[in-house]
Structure 1
Amino acid sequence: MSKTIKIQQPKIPDGLKARPFQPMEDPFYEMCMISDCSIMSEEVHRIRFEQVIFKNVTFLDVSFRNIELTDCIFEHCDLSNTDFREGSIHRVEFKESKILGLNLSDASLGNVLFENCNANMTSFGYSKLKQVAFKNCSLRNADYYESKFNHVAFKHCDLNEANFEQTPLKGIDLTTCIFDRMNVSIKDLAGCEVTADQALGFARLLGLIIK
């Protein structure tokens, strides 16, 4: 079995003060809590958040391309179809959140936890993931095309129809996950840990007839 991947937790001080999200000339938010609100129709490049907790926040028609997130937590948030392309995301947790269709393509993720999230159709194409864990997440139709994995864990996730084309899965343990089908090249499965039943499913990719 693969070793447990250690994820550094966000470094957040106690007693954060509440702060509303408001557009500003130099968009930098630090050491605050943004909660119980909606962020709507915002397009800001290179916005920065450091030591920020988002709680019960809904993002609607939001593009934060090149976002910088450091030591942040998203809890009970809805980030469906939000654009975080080319983001830099480090020591961040997404917990109990809906991130359906969240765009994280071309992003850099380090020490990031996704836990109990609806992450169907989330895009990680061309992203770099280092020390990243997905726990109890629905990742149906998620896209990891040509991603680079370095100490990435999937625990008790639904990976049905997820796309791992051009993404080597050496060292990835999928034994606790469920899927009927995944899009992956046979060459990229070398070194991937699977159950016997999962192996039969992958064998069908070779066109084998199993009796």
Structure 2
Amino acid sequence: MPPAVSPHAPRLGRDAPVLDAFPVDPYGVELEDTLVRGAVLQHEQLATLTLTDVVLDGCDLAGTVARRVTLRRVELRGCRLTGTLLSQATLEDVLVDGASAELVGLAGARLSRVAVSSSRLTEASLQEAELRHVLLRDVDLTGADLSEATLSACELRGCTIEELRGAAALRGVAMPWQDAVAAAPVLAQALGIELLD
């Protein structure tokens, strides 16, 4: 069984600024030690997105494309990330709760000490992603693509994985017994097992 996933929470200072908009410059967005509430950054093309010790609360980044992404000690609460493209991103010590992230693109991303709960990642692209010490709890992964992804010390609890592509990448993950039984058809298909009536 993998060790418990416990990302380090953002370290917001007592005087951390509270923003209601993202400060975008020609190079992208770079924030540190900041709380961002209800900000909208939809369908933007960013050269960089660098967040360190940041909390995003109820923010909307739907459809945004960022080429160089680094999130360290970041918490996303109730954020909308539908169609956001964060390929090749680095996420370390990230907490995600209540996110709407359908069609999010994380192909080739590196996730370490990440916990995602009560979120929708339907049809998410995680091809060739590297996930280490990741906890997915009550996450809808219907139609997501894990082809060629590498998962180590990862845990899935209460997740929906119907129509998951690349399910063989789940080899070695930890799941509660009842979740493993519910996932049997998807796992059997990935392993080429024919299920009989």
Greater strand proportion:
2
Which among 83, 87, 90 is matched to residue 105 of structure 1? Answer: 87
Aligned partners of 2:186 and 2:73: how far apart in 1?
35
Q: What is the CA RMSD across the aligned residues, in angstroms?
A: 2.0
What residue is the counterpart of 2:67 in the other structure?
85
For residues 110 and 152 of structure 1, the distance between their equivalents in structure 2, rounded to whole angstroms, comes to 10
Residue 7 (str. 1) matches residue 7 (str. 2) = yes
State the TM-score, normalizing by the size of structure 1: 0.83
- Residue 64 of structure 1: SS of its match in structure 2? strand
Q: Is the 8 A contact 1:77 1:96 kept in 2?
A: yes
Structure 1 residue 3 displacement after superposition: 3.3
**Partner Cα separation in structure 2 for residue 152 and residue 52 of structure 1:** 24
Q: Which amino acid aligns with 1:199?
A: A
Measured in 1, the distance between the counterparts of 2:47 and 2:194 equals: 44
Quick check: 2:167–2:186 contact (8 Å CA) kept in 1? no
Unmatched segments (≥5 aa) in structure 1:
17-31
Paired positions, count: 192
Cα drift, residue 159 of structure 1 = 0.6
Q: Conserved in 2, the CA contact under 8 Å of 1:43 and 1:62?
A: no
Report the Cα offset of residue 178 of structure 1: 1.2
Deviation at 1:207, TM superposition (A): 5.4
CA deviation digits over 1:9-58, x for unaligned, max 9?
11111244xxxxxxxxxxxxxxx2211x5x69x67325421111110111
Unaligned runs of 5+ in 2: none
Once residues 134 and 170 of structure 2 are traced to their aligned partners in structure 1, the CA distance between those partners, rounded to angstroms, is 15
The CA distance in 1 between the partners of 2:81 and 2:25, in whole Å, is 18
After superposition, give the CA deviation of every residue in 1:153-173 in whole Å (9 maximum; x if it has no partner): 101100100110001234332
- Please say if residues 43 and 63 of structure 1, whose CA atoms lie closer than 8 Å, have aligned partners that are also in contact: no
Preserved contact between residue 76 and residue 95 of structure 1 (Cα < 8 Å): yes
Q: Alignment partner of 2:41: what SS?
A: strand
Whichever of the two has the greater Rg, that structure is 1
Return the alpha-carbon distance in structure 1 between the equivalents of residues 157 and 19 of structure 2: 37
Selected match of 2:42 from 50, 60, 70:
60
| 2:18 is aligned with 1:33 | yes
Following the alignment from structure 1 to structure 2, what is the Cα–Cα distance between the partners of residues 173 and 142?
18
Counterparts in 2 of 1:64-79, with a 5 A limit? 64-79=46-61
Q: Secondary structure at the match of 1:208?
A: coil
1:189 is aligned to 2:175: no
List structure 1 runs of 4+ shifted beyond 4 angstroms. Answer: none
Q: Percent identical across equivalent pairs?
A: 21
Structure 1 residue 73: Cα displacement? 0.9
Tell me by how many angstroms 1:181 deviates.
1.6
Secondary structure (helix, strand or coil) at the match of 1:71 reads strand
